[in-house]
Amino acid sequence: MRIGADYQANVGTGGGCAFTVWAPLLEKVAVEIVSTPNGDRTQQLAFRKLAMSKDERGYWHVIAPDLPAGTRYKYQLNDADAWPDPASGYQPEGVHGPSEVVDHSAFDWQDDSWQGIPLNTYIIYELHVGTFTNEGTFEGAIARLPDLVELGITAIEIMPVTQFPGDRNWGYDGVYPFAVQNSYGGPNGLKQFVDACHQYGLAVIMDVVYNHFGPEGNYTGKFGPYTTGRYRTPWGDAINFDDAYSDGVRHYFIENALSWLRDYHIDALRLDAVHAIYDFGAKHFLLALSDAVKQLSDERGQPLYLIAESDLNDPRLIRPTSQGGYQLDSQWSDDFHHALHTRLTGETIGYYSDFKSLETLAAAIRDRFVYAGQYSPFRRRDHGGPALDLPSDRFVICSQNHDQVGNRMMGDRFSTLISFEAQKLAAATTLLLPYIPLLFMGEEYGENAPFLYFVSHGDRNLIEAVRAGRKEEFRAFHNEGSPPDPASPDTLKASTLSWVPTGDLGNAAQTGPSPTGTQTGNPSRNLQAGNTLAQQAILHKFYKRLIEVRKQCQIMAIAQHPDITVEHTNDMLYFRRAMATGDLLCLMNFGEKAIDIELPLGDQTWQQKINSAEATWCSQASTPTSELPKVLTAQSTPAVSIPSLSLALYQVSG
């Protein structure tokens, strides 16, 4: 059963609308027509009200013949105040304004030939629509798609675009899960973006939030018990998935997921912070959701995926139902990020304290999770569960993402935290593993602009609370200074990608590398203000080459746990991966000095695929270049010297 305003072309003489809203505890509900397209609002206020009838499950219904798409409306509750639709498809006047009827059948899709792509072939590019381009719109983002295709990206993940207060927000303060943000381009803008992505051969992942509502403009409580005080999340009361009247709430969010996949042709959903979804019922909400999505996928004959974000390291999320799992398709592996970040930055505060040794990175590469039931000193308890039986495409890994960059006080990217060589090492480590890699927008050329936290709430008291909360949060982490004002338009502006013109990158690469700031101590630490234009040019080409190598070597081929063996000594880590197309050997030096290593070559011949210390990928300020042998054999090259902060990949030839 669809909820909200379901426009239907066969209702009435010229189309009409079926309204459905869940409000189980109310005595009276009516649709209040605020305006119709091109109508005079002041005259329409004396208009018509449409009384609704209630069914046994608490849903109110009415059919309005000859009501055009674009009509704006609210629901009047118990003959008193009127409020926007909790399942509104569009809020053209913002979170406090009337809802608008959307005709999903009116859009002229051009993606009939799109059949989706296998999940293991996803190379994800995460972007925030508001800061991806200067325009901050879907239309602006479409213009950049050729750049991502040329890079080799295969899937775009957009941070939440559901209606939030104002026009500046990360998207996790959304209060209308069905409504597309008006300032980004609304429903048609999103459809145009998805349609364009599919025509470029790109899958689209939508980031959705099913664990809380935002703090401003959430009127669901006027209609029913959408939240419960039984559980608390970091953002307030939890969504009501298992308390009284929870059936209506579960249906609301399942229908929301289906709407994105069905009406907007989205290929996959990234489920935000599922560890904050509390459900102790017999059938967990996530399992009910995966059942519904798989049914739609079967009906359409096209793959549709669910990807969870969770900090629980709980393999139950992605196990099949036959093993007691929720059968989600993949989940983020934060352990990989934390282990890599800690090694390259030297930061050990907070949860990074659990990842001080190189063994943690080795475990993340080999075992999926670092903490799979072991004791976590930071958490002061055992954490996680083993996932050795699960294939590699069940895990998404990254070296940077919106959370790990944006939740730093100054929104620091790797470009201002670690050296140029370390940035290449981070990229190669992420892209040359068989897990699903995710890049954060701008990472591919070493964007220097930060990604900061920003809001544009209309409630001044709420803004002051956000400011105070951010200051207190970073004080607890012993940060000096104050975070940028999240409510200032300048904060969003500072977070917008610079998008160095491709021509400039090409010219910079041709003119050669240029010197950068002084580096001392650990060479992974970067004391410069950011990457130079020449370094950005090199880094962009390096990312492109890494993705080419990933595809040429079939690194995305699904790997099982026994396929990868990992060794590490001090600062040197290397892994060997068994593959039908030719085994891989990846050598990684995370130390400050070159390391001589005896190689486990056997009687095979190994062909070099990429070497981050090759002169092609180095700038004048980098660690001295190293032309490692292009071919390795046990007879000719039983040992090699691996430069500091570098990676080399070899594959068995023949």
- Amino acid sitting at position 193: F
* Contact assessment for residue 285 and residue 277, using Cβ atoms and an 8 Å cutoff: yes
- Amino acid sitting at position 98: P
Chain centre distance of CA 265: 18
Is 272 annotated in the active site?
yes
**What is the 8-class DSSP label of residue 525?**
B
Pairing of β 305-308 and β 330-332: parallel
User: Which member of 263, 309, 334, 563 is catalytic?
Assistant: 309
User: Which member of 103, 195, 242, 272 is catalytic?
Assistant: 272
**What is the 8-class DSSP label of residue 516?**
-
Residue bearing tokens 């050669």: 512
d(CA 306, CA 324): 17
Q: Buried b / exposed e across 602-633, counting CB within 10 Å, b at 16+?
A: eebbbebbbbbbbeebbbebbbebbebeeebe
Q: Buried b / exposed e across 437-467, counting CB within 10 Å, b at 16+?
A: bbbbbbbbbbbbbbbbbbbbbeeeebbeebb
Indicate the SS3 state at residue 634: coil
Is 443 annotated in the active site?
no
**What is the 8-class DSSP label of residue 244?**
T
Q: Buried b / exposed e across 184-209, counting CB within 10 Å, b at 16+?
A: bbbbebbbbbbbbbbeeebbbbbbbb
Task: Give the H/E segment covering residue 288.
Answer: helix 285-300
The residues facing 203 across adjacent strands are 155
* Contact assessment for residue 263 and residue 199, using Cβ atoms and an 8 Å cutoff: no
d(CA 432, CA 430): 6
The catalytic residue positions are 272, 309
